[in-house]
Homo-oligomer: A and B are copies of this chain.
Amino acid sequence: MIRFECDYAEGAHPQIMQAMMETNMEQNPGYSTDEHCQRAREYIRRACQAPDAAVEFLVGGTQANVTVISACLKPYQGALCAASGHINVHETGAMEAYGYKALTLESPDGKITAEQVEKAWEDHIHNASHEHMVQPGMVYISWPTECGTLYSKKELTAISQVCRKIGLKLFVDGARCGYGLAAPGNDVTLKDLAELTDVFYIGGTKVGALFGEAVVITNLEIQKDFRYYIKQHGGMLAKGRLLGIQFETLFKENLYGQIAQHAIDLAMQIREAFVKCGVPFLFDSVTNQQFPILTAEQKEEFEKKYAFELWEEVDKEHFAVRFCTSWATREENVKALTEDIIRICG
């Protein structure tokens, strides 16, 4: 079985494993106050060209999302997000468990628009009963989205401007951030993300680390006492060095960018093979997740040799599925897959 079902099936990139081995017997202070974390913070600030940003490390995405949301919102406020947003769908109500409502906006492809954000705010504030309703307090977007799609710099800038005009905080969930940066046609940089948002995170778990997300905070209000939030949310790793070592390795010399590029190159080969065969896609993804819509027959044929994820039953005869690549995907496996695409769907 050749596996394409997710981007976290393996451990970590070998350079990370090596760094962890080499530093294993070092004695470090706990809770991400060590030198590895300090260096990792510096590398990330440099990569973002954000010398005043606070950088904090969390273990996983749900933890990062809910910790940031808690630091952004007042109790009576909620987070505007796409209905398909990870916080609304796939976190077992983690944000609600801390008291915050997801204020969902419809979206066919996982993206929301500056216009939707502005309208939601206007609708709220002009409603005579607005005190009886949850007030929008922030905007949550995923970049790339859960559908593999990307906001352009223009789209992000428009959302950012609306947020600043209204007074909403803007948070970008970058669990797969690396794959967005490497995507063909992408014009957004880490510097843009740092400038346009109040807070965003650079995902490690899905881009080569064993685990870890680096939260980059430019908004001073969110920076304040952020580490209290981390501890309260159970996210203060005792051996915080582990997070430092991983991000140090990823950002010292742009290993992060290289491994994401590898994944994107292979994802594009898969994409092109499906395109060539006229297979339609559920979402027009330019990142490491591809969502072709297969017939029942095609799906069955692929299943003999490949592992991938069933995403959605489009109708009784058609199934949207997901093929993922990652830093660990091997070229020969993609070669085999693309040949089989031609054979099965061609």
Contact = CB atoms under 8 A, between A and B. Distances in A.
B101 A238 contact: no
A11 B30 contact: no
A299 to B, nearest CB: 16
Most chain-B CB neighbours within 10 Å: which of A27, A29, A31?
A: A27
A139 interface: no
Interface in A86-110: 89-94, 96-102
Given A93-B101, A205-B238, A20 B24 contact: no
B76 A228 contact: yes
A94 B230 CA distance: 10
The residue in A28, A62, A78 that gathers the most chain B C-beta atoms within 10 A of its C-beta is A62
A93 B131 contact: no
A237 B233 CA distance: 15
Given A93-B101, A205-B238, 13 more contacts: A59-B234, A60-B236, A62-B234, A70-B75, A76-B92, A76-B229, A91-B132, A94-B233, A98-B98, A206-B238, A210-B239, A234-B234, A234-B235
Interface residues of A, number: 72
A26 interface: yes
Given A238-B8, A238-B60, A231 B24 contact: no
Contacts of A74: 225
A9 B21 contact: no
B227 A131 contact: yes
A277 interface: no
Contacts of A76: 92-93, 97, 225, 228-229, 231-232
17 contacts: A3-B27, A8-B239, A10-B28, A11-B23, A11-B239, A11-B242, A12-B24, A17-B21, A60-B236, A67-B234, A74-B225, A92-B134, A97-B98, A131-B230, A132-B231, A206-B238, A234-B235
A99 B97 contact: yes
Nearest to A231: B92
Contacts of A235: 63, 234
Interface in A22-81: 23-31, 59-63, 66-67, 70, 74-76, 78
Contacts of A26: 10-11
A39 to B, nearest CB: 17
A133 B229 contact: no
Interface of A: 3, 6, 8-12, 14, 17, 20-21, 23-31, 59-63, 66-67, 70, 74-76, 78, 89-94, 96-102, 129, 131-135, 205-206, 210-211, 225, 227-239, 241-242, 328
Nearest to A225: B76
Contacts of A101: 93, 96, 102
A11 to B, nearest CB: 4
Contacts of A78: 93, 96
A231 B62 contact: yes
Which of A67, A75, A134 has the most chain B CB atoms inside 10 A of its CB? A75
A305 B63 CA distance: 39
B134 A93 contact: yes
